[in-house]
Each structure stands twice: as structure tokens, then as C-alpha cells.
Structure 1
Amino acid sequence: GRRLFFTGDTTAGLGAALAAARPDLLVVEVTYPSRMEEMARRYTHMTPSLLATELMALRREGRVLPRILAVHMHPTYEAEIWRELMDITDRTGCRIDMAREGMALTV
């Protein structure tokens, strides 16, 4: 079957859980841009750079990277976060989509 992995407010350290779950779709909050990593960690949120670190660790272990749906982006920083996520797509080949209201998904 297909596997979905959903994170709420979280921060770095997903690698082991992601490796064990082997999701087809990762729904992950990416609240702040990478330049705000210290604040993101303090309030247990992700940034694109934290997500990239998790993905690269999976890749080094020979894991297939899941499709990613980014959620819970702070509206003030949404465009900046999206640019950073597209950079991750360019570097990893991993498909990243931004969630939007009314979106329907097939896992």
C-alpha cells in the first residue's frame, strides 16, 4: 500500500522516523525561512534548510525521497520559503508542492 507521513509542529530529527516509515507522501510544516532557523528550532518548527538536511540524510542512506507537501507556512514569509523549497527540488530532484485550501490528494 501507499504510506503517508504527517508532521505537526516539529523540528529537525525526523530522519529515523522517516527512514522507518518509508512514506510515499510527506506532509510537513515548513513555517519559517532558513534565515530564521534559530527561532524555528526554539518553537519546534521546520525551515527549508532543516528539511533539506533530513532529506539529504535519507539520500545518503540510499532511501527513496518521498513526494513532499509543505504546509503551515507563515504568510509573511511564504514566497521566501517557496523559493527555498524550489532550490531543494533542484538539488535533490524531490517533488515538493505547497498545500492550498481545498486541495485534494491521492497517496
Structure 2
Amino acid sequence: MYSVVLLGIELMGHGCMIQWFCLTNVLIVLGPTHHYLRAGSRQGLSLGLCIVNIVGTIWTFAPFSFAVVMLPEIFDTPTYYTIGGFLTLYSVWCLYVVWQYPSKTRAADKSGYDPIW
């Protein structure tokens, strides 16, 4: 995986690679929403992923984030922070949606252990 990142940096340049990193964080937040809304239970869903998405969104769009520190001329803008605020609220909403579903059951868990969340 490290070689893929280095190859991306070599082919696209440092600035473009940082933009790709931010884009992937946005897709990780927005991507599972369709599944969250149609699931109906926590089976196959993860509260842990929702929490990681909230923390990751905050760290991606904070004024001290890696993107702002490395390329402030691109990322230190009101638009960037507005999108970050929206995505953080969106991540919290996704956590709320998953939290409202019935808990996982031991019978549905293939490992035979009690599910964590």
C-alpha cells in the first residue's frame, strides 16, 4: 500500500495527492448512507465506523488538519470549512440513524459471541 501512495505522489504531485486524500475521506462519509437508510437493523452496520467517520471528518476539515498545514493556499478557505462543517453534521446524523436501529442479536452474529454494538 505504501508503494501505491508513493506512486500516486510521483505521478500526480504532492498537492494533487492531498486533494485525493480529502476526496476519499468525503466518499467514506457519504458512501454508506444508502445502506444505512435501507438496512432496518444494525446487523451488517457498525457504530464504530460511524464514530470513526465523525473523528476522521473533524481531523480532515479542522484548521490544523494535514491539508491546511501542507497547502493553505488551497484548503484554508471558508468553503473548505463550510463543507467540513456540513460533513461533520452529516456524519453525526448517520450515527443517529444507525443508533436508532434495533441492536445486533447474538443469534444473528456468526461468531457466537455477543456483539459489541
Normalising by structure 1, what TM-score? 0.34
Question: Which has the larger Rg?
Answer: 2
Q: Which has the higher helix share?
A: 2
Normalising by structure 2, what TM-score? 0.31
Q: Which has the higher strand share?
A: 1
